[in-house]
Each structure stands twice: as C-alpha cells, then as structure tokens.
Chains A and B, each alone.
Chain A
C-alpha cells in the first residue's frame, strides 16, 4: 500500500486535472490538502453485449472518504460499482473502454490477478448474501481463502471485524451457529464484517440498507462513519437523506451518464445542473 501511495505521488503531476462539470477536482482538493485520489474512473464506457450501460464516466473518488452514487433505477450505479472489483466480468459478453485505476494501477492490468484485486476491495451487496456456514466462518472467509489458518489470528480478526460492524455484542455467544439464523439486518452487518475482515483498502456498498428497517439503517450509517477512518467507501443509495448524511462526495448518474459530481454538501445545497436538483428534491426519478 505504501509503495502504491509513493507511486501515486510520482505519477500525480502527470495526470491532468479531472474536470467534473465546471469544477475541477483539483480545486476541491485544495481545500483539503491531505486528500488523495483513490479510485479514478477514466473515460469509462461499459457495454452489456451491444447495450451501453455507462457513457464516458470520468471522475475521481478521494481516499478515506465516502463517495455516494445516486441516480434513478437502471442508470448504471450497480454496473459502475461492480466494475470497480471486476465483478461484472462474470456476465457473458461484456466489454469496456477507458480505464479504472486504484491509486495509479489499472484494474485491467494484465499482471494483476483478479483475485488479488478483489482481496484489496471489499464489497457489500444490495441483497445480503451470507454463506451457508457458521457466523465465524463467514467473517473469516477471505482469510481462509488466502490460506490463513492460524486460529489466534482468525479469532482476533473475527472479533475485530464483528466489533467494527457493530454485530459483536449480538452474536459473540453464538459464533459457531449458522449465519442463516441471523435476522436480515444482522446478516447485512455480517456481510460488512466479512467485507472488511482482511483490511481491504476500499469498501464498495451497493444499496446496503435497502432491505433494512430504520434502526438497522441507522446502525449501518454509524458504521460507515466509523469505517471511513480506515477505508475508502463507495456507496450506492436511493435514499437522498442517507446520501446527504453519510457521504462526502456525491456522483449523480442519469441513464448511464455522469451528470454531476462534487462535494455532497454543495451538491445538495446548490446543485449546478437542473436535472440534479429535480432528482434530489424528488421531482423525477
């Protein structure tokens, strides 16, 4: 990770400033000089077969901040977020142009194992998907697949991750029961614990609260706030209040196009595009 940031420092001057709307990202960066770019989406087009789902997306998500992706249903939010860890490659007949970079490394770099990439990126899915295993085995799954079998380490990671996802107190006495016996909200938090267990750099969350009640949602939002200290988080949400509450940056997509990208506060107070304003205030979408 350190070498990556070093790389980044070296390469940073070479990359041109990213333009989003009228504002450049550099401009934003000046206000917080310690913020670095983490995920760079560089003129990215994506196709399912012949249908294009993303048109020339171009923006930068800053490190250790929460970037919210909003937009009406079917606008390509999931497509984008699932491309960051190359999950969409499982679909037949997909193709892309442009590039996505984590720090300065392209995720399509042929030298990069896709499993290695995914180990660096945790992902929480819209529908919680615990494995048919015990709670414990669920949490430490990513360590197991990397060949870690030392019990002391696994125990420690399990406890840490569950604490971080605010699930520890509820399940600490039944770690070896099936994860399938948890409630929906607990399952979702378990999936979060699983996603952060091997300390990834980035956490992708695709509508993590869409199936949860307000209390569980509040817990997860709190959690996002906590996790922000360690992870760069990308969250897709349909809930404007949630986007406003948890995110630092917001990207608004419409029919595969990135309409507006900027600081959340600014975007919600005074959006630059009329479309954005209409969507945020609920007049369409």
Chain B
C-alpha cells in the first residue's frame, strides 16, 4: 500500500512538472536573445576580423602562371581571397577555385587586384628579397630591389648588407622633410593665406562703399604687400627643402622584369614581407594601425589614414552633445516638474516620442532649409556681407551639422531624462522643500543629482545615435575631403562654419563612390571597425562616468 501511495505521489509530481505554465515561452525568450546575440557577435567579429586583417603584414608570394593557351607570366603580390569561380559548371566537372591577388604596381599593371585560376598556377614562391613599398602615389609596389642611388652619385647594391639600413635612413629623412614642408605649407602659409583672404575681403568691402582710394584702403594694400612678401619667403623655403631632399632613388625590378626607379621622397614606408618574424610582424601591424589613425588620406581616400574623419566625427559628436543635453534636460524638467500634467502635456510628450521615429533624412532636409539657408543666410547678410556672394555660414558646416543632429537626438534625451526625473522619489523633493528650499533649488540641488545617472543614459543613447548617423550629414556639411580641420591654429581656432569629414560618410564614400571599389574594400572594413570602436569608446567613457555617479549615490538598504 505504501508503494502505491508513493507511485501516486510520483504521478502528481510528474503531472505538476508537465503542467508548469509558460515553460515554452521561456524557451522562446532564450531563443530571441540567442539570435540577437549571435547576430551582433557575428557582425562584430566579421568587421573586427576583416578590419584588422587590413593592417596585418601578410607574406607576399611570387606566382608562376601558365594559362591554357600556353603563355607564361610571373606575378607578385599578396593573396587576399580564395573563392569558387562564379558561373555555371558542366555536370560532373570539378569546381574551379580562383585566387584574388593584390599585386600593387598600379601605374604599370592598371588594376591592383587580379583574379587567377588555381589551375593556371605552376609555382608558388615566397622569395625573401621581395620588397613591398608604400608610396605617396599609385598605392603599394611589389618588386625585387636592385640598388639604391645616393645623392652623391654613388650606388649601393641590393646585395650589400648596408642596403636596407641606408634605404630606411633615406625614407626617414624624406618623411621628415615632407613633414617640415607640410608644416610650412599648412600652418604658416595657411595662416598667411587666411590673412590675405581677410584683407582682400576688407578691401572689397571698402570698394563697395566707394572708399577705394582712401588712407584706410592704402593701409590694407600695404599690409597685403607685406603678406605677399612673407608668403614668397615661405614658399621659397619649402621649395628649397624639397630640392634638398631629392637624391636617393630606389631601383627595383617588378615581377614582369621591368626595372623601375622610385625617388625616396615618394616613399612612405617599405618592408620585406617574407623576412619578418612574428614580433616584427606585430610591430609593423601596430605601426600601420597608428598611421591609419594619425595620417591624412591620400589617393582619393583609398590610401593613407583617416585622421581628419576621426577628428571631424569626434568634434561633431561633442558639439552635438553640448547642444542636445542642456536643451533636452531643460525640456524634460519643464515637462516633468513644472508643467501641469494634463492632456496638453500628454500630447507634447507623444509628439516628442514620435519625433524619434522621423527618418533622419527629413532632419537633414530641415537642417538645410532652416539652419543653412535661413539662419546661416541671415547671419551672412548681417555679419559677413563683405564676403558675399561666397557664403560663410550660409552653407553646410560643422555647426549646422551638429545642430541638425542635436535636433534628431533631442527626443531620446528628453524621454530618458523625463523617465529618470520621474524615478526620483517624491520623498526627496518633499525633504528638500521641507527644508525651506524653493522649487528650483530643489530641482537643482536634489532632483538633478539624483536623476543624473538616468540622464546620462539618455545622453549615451543620443551620442551613439548621433555619431553613427550619416544621411542628414550629407546635406548639411559633410564632405569627401576637407582641406582644413574644424579646429586649428588660426585665430579664432574654432571654425564652426567649416565643412568637415566624418567616418560614417567616409565609409559610404569609399564603398560606393571610389573608382576602384576593390581597392577601397579593406579601407571600408577598417573604417567601419574604427567608427564602431569610436562609438563604443565614447559610450564606455559615458558609462564609466555614470557608474561613478551611481556609486556616489548608491541607495543604501536597511
């Protein structure tokens, strides 16, 4: 009898287990999370892998090719991809593989990327003396060094043990001179150009007022003359530097056997990809990443670095945050603390929420119409009339771009701030009022500090959204290549009317607007990785601040 009772108990137990309501839903939720996480991880690892691979100094190969027709060919470069050949296969035939080779030497070979049939490859070699040169123009070059011509007419043979040391010295010197020239041209001559421009505009203004011959105009003319003289001196200095640096010339043979000359001042860097050991490889990897981050773009943005784009993105995001945060928080304070909660406030709230769903391009259009043409145009009329018809603020610029994005992200800030204001316990407000504080004092001294972490969350969301937005920017001031940074050494240091570069737009431009899309692909991945990293970095720093605030105000338990 005892046994049957046990059985019965067991049965009940089993029944109960079956009967737990909603078990299936737990699985659904877990599945949803898994899919989401898998997609994010997949995307990030793809971008991370492809983005970092760009900088890894891969080994270079020399391929002996023989096509079906019997012609032979040698080819040097880096294997970038192995894939199945596209097209239809005959029934039963083997699948054909092809390799994508980055062969560089664009000025000779035309295309820097080429596909070769796997079956055509006769021999694969990794010669130690294969050199890869990064050049100012035409991208990378692969070749076998022959000799180095020195300025005094000498010649160092490639077999000489001193060869690579001398070459490195030559490149280093050339880089230094280039930097000096750049400093002169960009900073000093840039400053003079700016001043000349300014004076010319003043002169034009005087002319318009029919005061062309007056003493004032004369003075400006004299100043102009002086500026031109200074310009000449600097230009001569730059020319002299340029001549000085000339001299070293690398002679190398490309895979087809052709001999080429490359002056050192056209070289950015060089290395022997098959001679590097693991540590050197890693050093070079870091070196290339550094140059990607710190250099300016070359060759229609497909070469060089992305520094101006990083800088533009950063400055714009910070400016946007400076605009959006006070504005959004103030609006939220009014909505939550002062406005009488009623139908009207509810309508306003819904409208604000809906604003977050408006397509971003619409904000771009609004930015052009309102900020650029109306506000910017009016500013030009009032303050920069001398420069018209050349617009100053009446054209896209970093100020208008950040204002447009601020408008775009303000609903996020308002909603998050309102939530966090609402979550501040009423007891705190009462405590403050009971101490004789006015309402504003209460908000300022008690409510806002308590709501700060939540407000920062909104700020983080807004920043992430703003930093990764591209569409509206294209209308209000982003350009493919900006001649100057929005912040520089020329008074007044911050030029909010300037156009700027942006990583998001850079990606678009590289991927879809560049003449050689295959060549731009690695840069697209690298830039995407960078943009994501920048957004993550900005977010992490904001989160760090928030956690510090939280810790400070952590609510004790009884």
Contacts and interface: CB of A to CB of B under 8 A. Distances in A.
Interface of A: 85, 87, 90, 115-116, 118-119, 121-123, 125, 127, 129-133, 141-142, 144-146, 178, 180-184, 187, 191, 194-195, 198, 211
Interface of B: 425, 427-438, 441, 445-446, 449-450, 552-558
Contacts of A146: 436
A132 B446 contact: yes
A118 B554 contact: no
Given A90-B430, A180-B554, A183-B556, A129 B435 contact: no
Contact of B552 (A144, A178, A187): A178
Query: Which of B436, B437, B441, B557 has the largest number of chain A CB atoms within 10 A?
Result: B436
B556 A180 contact: yes
Contacts of B555: 180
B554 A178 contact: yes
A131 B444 CA distance: 12
B432 A141 contact: yes
Q: Nearest 9 A-B pairs (CB), nearest first?
A: A119-B436, A184-B558, A132-B553, A129-B427, A142-B435, A123-B434, A129-B431, A145-B437, A118-B436
15 contacts: A87-B433, A90-B433, A115-B436, A115-B437, A115-B438, A122-B435, A123-B431, A123-B434, A130-B431, A131-B446, A132-B428, A132-B446, A142-B437, A145-B445, A191-B431
B556 A181 contact: yes
Interface centre among A127, A180, A187 (most CB of B within 10 A): A180
Contacts of A141: 432, 435, 437, 445
A184 B555 CA distance: 11
B450 A131 contact: yes
A261 B7 CA distance: 68
A197 to B, nearest CB: 8
Contacts of B433: 87, 90, 118
A125 B555 CA distance: 17
A119 B429 CA distance: 15
Contacts of A127: 427
Contacts of A132: 428, 446, 449-450, 552-553
Nearest to B442: A145
A180 B432 CA distance: 16
Given A129-B425, A132-B446, A132-B449, A122 B552 contact: no
Contact of B435 (A116, A118, A180, A211): A118
A103 B554 CA distance: 41
Contacts of B430: 87, 90, 125, 129
A4 B322 CA distance: 51
A187 B425 CA distance: 15
B436 A198 contact: yes
Given A145-B438, A145-B445, A131 B431 contact: yes
Nearest to B441: A145
Given A127-B427, A180-B554, A195 B434 contact: yes
Contacts of B436: 115-116, 118-119, 142, 145-146, 198
A125 B446 contact: no
Contacts of B441: 145
A178 B553 contact: yes
